[in-house]
Amino acid sequence: MFLLGQAMTDECVCPKHHYVDKDGYPRVKWQKKLWRLNRLMWYLSFGEIPIGQVVAHSCNNKSCVNQNHFYLTTSQINSTHAARDGLYKPYTRFKQEDLITMWNLYNIEGWTQQAIADRFQTSQTAISSCLKRYER
């Protein structure tokens, strides 16, 4: 990897020209396996990621691969930190008319959840949650 052995700064280090997954994490193929780059950098720098742990970013920048910004935590704590830091866009931010529009686009017009998410500038997961909570 291009960063191993190099001195890290306090700034985010964000590689360019990598495939980015639906959740916004850069990915790279290494030893015939597709890795999230932050997980691969952790593995190559510090070793195995313990079962039940995730590699989180203290900088809240998913594309950052600066090992100084990584820490291990659980998924639940990572989600709590993301919510605390305003990284989630919960369904409650939508007005009733938005929920009706989402329902109609999905159930009547046949839009995909991702297309609806793009229109409302949110995640597919948030749209799925909205559709489950809004019953017509």
> Class of 91-133 per CATH?
mainly alpha
Tokens, residue 116: 């609806």
Specify the pTM. Answer: 0.60
Give the model's pLDDT for residue 99. Answer: 87
Distance CA 3, CA 1 (A): 6
For 124-132, which contacts have Cβ atoms below 8 Å and span 24 or more sequence positions? 124/22, 126/89, 126/90, 126/91, 127/102, 129/90, 129/91, 130/91, 130/94, 130/99, 130/102, 131/102, 131/103, 131/106
Distance CA 63, CA 57 (A): 9
- pLDDT tens for 16-61 read 888 888 778 899 999 999 999 999 999 999 999 999 999 999 998 9
What residue spans define the domains of the chain? Answer: 19-84, 91-133
- pLDDT tens for 68-84 read 999 999 988 887 787 77
- Single-letter code of the amino acid located at 33: K
